[in-house]
A = this chain, B = another copy of it.
């Protein structure tokens, strides 16, 4: 499979997108398809250490775009919050060893406590790890999650909230990740994307699509073109800020994971070329 599309070098794939593949296989196959980058999910380290994986990806000609994922700071119990902070400090070390410029941060939520309290824990979590991230040269990209995940995954559900939180923490290495799946519905999205430019804090751009109907709240994401998100419009808003980084395909899909992953990779590349 040979691709000559000039933009293909800007395509990054999240390793979870081809979940059935081991990380070494994902790296080789992405590189062979002409894809430019990989975002590494942390389960990869059960096969290769961060330093080994860095070498492996570099040798294959693949850029490591980010580490996925840190966060999950919100919790009713103090002990769980402390463990989350320790885990994030480890993730920072992993990102540094891996050569990933930033970590994608899924902030966390706990249905046992009010959202306002989860949001406080999230700010405290970032403050607790901020120095270590700065010293390690690792940026932290706050990824607002769709409001349907506000019970357990993230109490940060709009880009406006993420921008507000970044303003509060006010550190140049803490910014945002824009994922069209989580944010496409938001009437404030265009203006909040523009707002990221003022602080130069748009670190990452993730794409996939919203299937209509969506059959599962977690594992039924579509490839670009499978659903109703106007991805090129959002991409235009993102690039108007000066963003010229990787465009990352991140898909969780029981349906696609059950396909032959080589065929699936061809479809990822085609959907990126046609619908992003």
Contact = CB atoms under 8 A, between A and B. Distances in A.
A212 interface: yes
B217 A151 contact: no
Interface stretch (A6-14, A226-234, A251-259): A226-234
Nearest to A150: B185
A146 interface: yes
A245 interface: no
B146 A158 contact: no
Contact of A228 (B151, B161, B213, B233): B151
Interface residues of A, number: 29
A157 B217 CA distance: 18
Contacts of A161: 187
A148 interface: yes
Residue from A155, A161, A187, A230 having most chain B Cβ neighbours under 10 A: A187
A145 to B, nearest CB: 10
A214 to B, nearest CB: 7
A72 interface: no
A187 B117 CA distance: 12
Given A111-B228, A161-B187, A152 B217 contact: no
A115 interface: yes
B147 A186 contact: yes
A227 B157 CA distance: 19
B233 A114 contact: yes
B230 A114 contact: yes
B212 A151 contact: yes
A142 to B, nearest CB: 14
A210 B151 contact: yes
B157 A185 contact: yes
Nearest to A211: B151
Contacts of A157: 185-187
Interface in A162-212: 184-187, 210, 212
Nearest to A148: B148
A215 to B, nearest CB: 9
Interface string A91-120: 000000000000000000001101100010
A214 B216 CA distance: 10
A149 to B, nearest CB: 9
A220 B119 CA distance: 26
- Shortest 4 CB-CB distances between A and B: which pairs? A111-B228, A150-B185, A151-B212, A111-B212
